[in-house]
Chain A
Amino acid sequence: MITVTTTSSSTRAKRGGEGKPLLSIRDFKVEYRTGSGATVQAVRGVDLDLFPGESVALVGESGCGKTTLGLGLLRLLPRLGHASGQVTFNRGDGTEIDILGLDGRDLRQFRWRDAAMVFQGAMNAFNPVLKIRAHMHDTMRAHTKFTKQEIEDRAGELLRLVRLEPSRVMDSYPHELSGGMRQRVLIAMSLLLEPEVLILDEPTTALDILTQRSVVDVLHEVRERLGFSMIFISHDLSLAAELADRVATMYAGRIIETGGVRDMFYRPRHPYTLGLIKAVPPIVGDLPDMESIPGGPPSLAALPPGCTFNPRCKYATEECKEEDPPLLPITDEPGDAHEAACIHWKDVHLQREVPSDLGNAS
């Protein structure tokens, strides 16, 4: 019999004291070959640290490299993709592994055991002709020497953790489950081997509001019980506000702003983050003043010179066209780890109206 909660929380607690990042990403790049010697850089030098127990949200429009970054971290890129840079995973016992150098057996061990991924579109992540039980057993048999009964117990335990009834779900085929149930099964499955890092790619996209809420609540709950760290990829800023401790905004393959969730939402300092926040209508309060970001993200094959955001930016000056600004710490408030890649960050302010009359319609 395995008790998930006790084992994991104790190892996590030990690790937390070291103060070292769990996952350290330095100058991470991903190139896709696009035929006859041409390449496109989808991720162009990302630095990111994931600390134990932390939840980091990657936000941005489609085509800014969020998913490529997530796939690259688990070495799941398609054949035409090539990752370079330095990604170090710090196992609890002090060993550090270089993820980009992993091969064969070691790579298989790293996946699921150290880090697991929950994919977007829960239907495609399952084998449609296998029951959920077979998915669970296959995964466990490939990675552990558990007996059938142990696997059964472990799977049941995790399914109950995501508020599913094991007796009903285990014998179902993926198509027999609703979208929200499939997504929760996928979360349960990704936790089978107690990974320390979970990467979630748009975990609630394409789900109905109430179903989305149940998945978010389940994520809150399991994270509290199991204490894993997560990187979740989302275009939905509201979700980031709810689930993240730290937010990183990506644009054209780079992180252009990162900081604590409150810093990012109340004091964004990059015009792009500001624009994204202003484009999301809140549900409470009166009719908000919304603003959209003009244009669309640039083609990765033909990036504009200088700051890649300058053609869409209302703060842009001639200076912005000269150099792509590096991600630098912002020092206006001491103690926060807020960084932005914008030379005009001092001019960027969010005017947020506090919704005052909750529940009073005009």
Chain B
Amino acid sequence: MSALEKSPETAGRAPLMTLGGVSQVFHTKAGPIRAVDNINLSVNPGEVLCLVGESGSGKTTAARMAAGLARPSSGEVAFEGTDIWALKRDDFTNFRRSVQYVHQDPYASLNPTRTIQQTITAPLLKHGVVKSKKAAAERAVELLTKVDLTPAENYLSKYPHQLSGGQRQRVAVARALTLDPKLIIADESTSMLDVSIRISVLAMLGRLRDDLGVGFLFITHDLAIAKYFGWHGKTAVMYLGRIVEFGPTPKIINAPTHPYTRALIDAIPEPDPDLTKTKGRESLRSLEIPSLAHLPSGCTFHPRCPLFEDGLCDGAVPELVTIRSGQSAACHVVARDGVAALDDEARSDEPRA
């Protein structure tokens, strides 16, 4: 059972990127740590796949494997149908060009000793996309305009420290666009920006998605941002290295089925004083996130889960199964009782026996 098989649209189009049964195990003194455990995901061209979850849920590890920056311990990372780790050297270089990564911290991801022009033209010259420095500079202007840094000429000779956080992040995006990528992996790319700037950077990324048909693997801990950017795409919710819920973004946000997703969405304060004070909130049984080195038995969410049932949840690891059309969740209780039972029981004030 995989999230991939569950999405009907994937059947028609060839997915750009597929993670098939991918795991990443880190060997540490405390024993093996399964940072990512058997996940299945796919991104189509021009589609957004949001990966959400708390810190330590394995979002970034999954993204690093998708970008070819880390080799999975098991499972296959395929780009346009081919396993990237079976590619020949030249093809691997092509893959690297097609998949670009935009990091979280624009203060750390730009070289402070390079001007914006040098930063943007470096990949162009390195990969031989342009013939001359002059052509490279022209291309740089074009790219800066695309990310709304206008007039672009003013920015070319500047250094990163002369720019604000939002401007730097735009430069990082422009650099990612230099090699006409088919997939952009955005790892918490807007979380360090001020609220006022965040929306404009997201709108700019949205235009790239729509106009250039770039696919996005969009990683965020902020479900409101996932909602805004990935509304027409899909969302996968990760918890302790596994995908616990997967489906179209509107369903995940407005009708979540997994207790963890529900807890996440309930926990978010609303920018509306009446709504945020009246919003129903279930309390979790425990605030502590278990350590990846000592995962709880069965469903890893069971020590915190409000729907916990003794004997059921701490036994076997739940599979990701379809709960309703297009939406799957890995939860024993929801899989057994269905959505109707969940809505009645979980939202009432009566605690479960």
B residues neighboring A (CB under 8 Å): 54-55, 164, 166-167, 194-200, 203, 221-225, 227-228, 231, 248, 250-251, 253-255, 263-277, 279, 281, 284, 287-289
5 more A-B residue pairs beyond the given contacts A266-B273, A279-B199, with a C-beta to C-beta distance below 8 A: A208-B55, A210-B267, A213-B268, A238-B270, A242-B270
Contact across chains for B271 and A361 when beta carbons are under 8 A apart: no
In the assembled complex, how far is the CB of residue A324 from the closest CB belonging to chain B, in whole angstroms?
20
**A262 at interface, CB cutoff 8 A:** yes
A 233-246 binary contact with B (CB < 8 Å = 1; else 0): 00111110110000
Taking a contact as CB atoms closer than 8 A, the residue among A235, A286, A292, A296 that contacts B164 in the complex is A296
A339 to B55, CA, bound (A): 40
Instruction: Kindly list chain A residues whose C-beta atoms are within 8 Å of the C-beta of B222.
Output: 209
Taking a contact as CB atoms closer than 8 A, the residue among A261, A275, A281, A359 that contacts B254 in the complex is A359
Instruction: Kindly list chain B residues whose C-beta atoms are within 8 Å of the C-beta of A358.
Output: 254
Contact across chains for A281 and B253 when beta carbons are under 8 A apart: no
Instruction: Kindly list chain A residues whose C-beta atoms are within 8 Å of the C-beta of B228.
Output: 281, 287-288, 290
Do A241 and B270 contact each other (CB < 8 Å), given the known contacts A209-B221, A279-B199?
A: yes
**A328 at interface, CB cutoff 8 A:** no
A216 to B277, CA, bound (A): 12
Contact across chains for B276 and A241 when beta carbons are under 8 A apart: yes
Do A283 and B223 contact each other (CB < 8 Å), given the known contacts A261-B273, A265-B272, A359-B255?
A: yes
A 249-269 binary contact with B (CB < 8 Å = 1; else 0): 000000000000110011000
**A360 at interface, CB cutoff 8 A:** yes
A216 to B266, CA, bound (A): 13
**A303 at interface, CB cutoff 8 A:** no
**A291 at interface, CB cutoff 8 A:** yes
**A48 at interface, CB cutoff 8 A:** no
Contact across chains for B197 and A296 when beta carbons are under 8 A apart: yes
Contact across chains for A285 and B199 when beta carbons are under 8 A apart: no
**A47 at interface, CB cutoff 8 A:** no
A34 to B227, CA, bound (A): 43
Contact across chains for B255 and A209 when beta carbons are under 8 A apart: no
Taking a contact as CB atoms closer than 8 A, the residue among A280, A294, A361 that contacts B250 in the complex is A361
Contact across chains for A210 and B253 when beta carbons are under 8 A apart: no
Contact across chains for A241 and B287 when beta carbons are under 8 A apart: no
Contact across chains for B269 and A239 when beta carbons are under 8 A apart: yes
Q: Indicate the member of A242, A287, A294, A352 with the most B CB atoms within 10 Å.
A: A242
**A61 at interface, CB cutoff 8 A:** yes
Instruction: Kindly list chain A residues whose C-beta atoms are within 8 Å of the C-beta of B271.
Output: 237-238, 241, 265, 277, 280, 282
Contact across chains for B287 and A279 when beta carbons are under 8 A apart: no
Q: Rank and list the top 9 A-B pairs by shortest CB-CB distance, nearest first.
A: A213-B267, A292-B200, A238-B269, A292-B199, A208-B54, A361-B254, A293-B196, A280-B271, A361-B250
Instruction: Kindly list chain B residues whose C-beta atoms are within 8 Å of the C-beta of A61.
Output: 194-196
Contact across chains for B267 and A282 when beta carbons are under 8 A apart: no
In the assembled complex, how far is the CB of residue A224 from the closest CB belonging to chain B, in whole angstroms?
13
**A39 at interface, CB cutoff 8 A:** no
Q: Indicate the member of A209, A275, A287, A296 with the most B CB atoms within 10 Å.
A: A209
Contact across chains for B225 and A242 when beta carbons are under 8 A apart: no
**A12 at interface, CB cutoff 8 A:** no
Contact across chains for A238 and B166 when beta carbons are under 8 A apart: no
A208 to B251, CA, bound (A): 22
Instruction: Kindly list chain A residues whose C-beta atoms are within 8 Å of the C-beta of B54.
Output: 208-211
**A178 at interface, CB cutoff 8 A:** yes
Instruction: Kindly list chain A residues whose C-beta atoms are within 8 Å of the C-beta of B268.
Output: 209, 213, 238, 283
**A212 at interface, CB cutoff 8 A:** yes
Contact across chains for B200 and A282 when beta carbons are under 8 A apart: no
Instruction: Kindly list chain A residues whose C-beta atoms are within 8 Å of the C-beta of B274.
Output: 262
Contact across chains for A241 and B269 when beta carbons are under 8 A apart: yes
**A76 at interface, CB cutoff 8 A:** no
A355 to B279, CA, bound (A): 13
A239 to B271, CA, bound (A): 7
**A163 at interface, CB cutoff 8 A:** yes
In the assembled complex, how far is the CB of residue B231 from the closest CB belonging to chain A, in whole angstroms?
5
Contact across chains for A242 and B264 when beta carbons are under 8 A apart: no
**A120 at interface, CB cutoff 8 A:** no
**A317 at interface, CB cutoff 8 A:** no
Instruction: Kindly list chain A residues whose C-beta atoms are within 8 Å of the C-beta of B55.
Output: 208
Which A residue sits closest to B229, measured CB to CB? Answer: A281
Instruction: Kindly list chain A residues whose C-beta atoms are within 8 Å of the C-beta of B273.
Output: 241-242, 261-262, 265-266
Contact across chains for B263 and A292 when beta carbons are under 8 A apart: no
